[in-house]
Amino acid sequence: MSCAPTPCPLPPSSFASRRRCLLLLVAACVLLASCGGDRGEPLGTGGAPGGDVLERVLRTKHVRVGVKADTPPFGVLRGGTYAGFDIDIAYAVAGQLGIDEVEFVPVTSANRMDKIEKGDVDMVVASMSITRYRARRVDFTLPYYQDGQGLLVKHDSTVSGYFGLAGKKVGTVKGSSSSYYLHQVSPDCVPVLVADFADLIHLLDSDAVDAITSDQTILIGLMANAPDPAAYRIAGKTFTIEPYGIAVPQNQSHWRNALNQALMEVWEKGQWQSIVDSWFGPGTTYAHRVDFHPPIYPR
Q: Encode pLDDT of 43-77 as tens digits.
A: 233 445 558 999 999 999 999 999 999 999 999 99
Q: Quick check: 284 pLDDT over 80?
A: yes
Residues 157 and 209 in one domain: yes
More confident residue, 45 or 260: 260
Report which listed range, 32-36, 253-257, 289-293, is most confident: 253-257
Q: How many domains does the chain have?
A: 2
Looking at the structure, tell me whether residues 153 and 264 fall in a common domain: no
Burial track 236-249 (b if 16+ CB lie within 10 A, e otherwise) = bebbbebbbbbbbb
pLDDT at 73: 97
In a domain, 82, yes or no: yes
Strand partners, 194: 173
**34, pLDDT greater than 60:** no
Residue from 104, 5, 123, 13 nearest 57 by CA: 123
| CB hemisphere CA count around 178 (13 angstroms) | 34
Q: Are residues 128 and 255 in the same domain?
A: yes
Residues 275, 261 share a domain: yes
DSSP state of 51: S
- Percentage with pLDDT > 90 across the chain: 78
For the stretch 212-229, pLDDT in tens is 999 999 999 999 999 999
Q: Answer for the pair 72, 198: CB distance below 8 angstroms, yes or no.
A: no
91 with 129, same domain: the answer is: yes
pLDDT band at 8; cut points 50, 70, 90: very low
Q: Using pLDDT thresholds of 50, 70 and 90, give the confidence band for residue 206.
A: very high
Q: What is the mean pLDDT of the chain?
A: 87
Q: What is the mean pLDDT of residues 170-185?
A: 93
Task: Say if residue 142 is in the same domain as residue 160.
Answer: no
DSSP string for residues in 188-232: TSEEEEESSHHHHHHHHHTTSSSEEEEEHHHHHHHHHTSS-GGGE
Residue 25 lies in a domain: no
Quick one: 224 and 271 in the same domain?
A: no
> Shortest CA distance to 144 belongs to which of 299, 273, 279?
273
For 12, list phi and psi in degrees, rounded to 5.
Answer: -50, -35
Query: Does the residue 22 lie in any domain?
Result: no
Q: Could you read off the pLDDT of 165-176 as tens digits, one per residue?
A: 999 999 999 989
Lowest mean pLDDT among 24-28, 179-183, 203-207: 24-28
Q: Which structural domain, as residue segments, surrounds residue 133?
A: 53-146+244-280
**More confident position, 158 or 40:** 158
| pLDDT above 90 for 33 | no
**CATH assignment at residue 110:** 3.40.190.10
29 belongs to a structural domain: no
Is there a cis peptide before residue 9, judged by omega within 30 degrees of 0? no
Tell whether 121 and 79 lie within a shared domain.
yes
> Are 205 and 192 contained in the same domain?
yes
End-to-end CA distance of the chain: 75
Distance CA 51, CA 197 (A): 34
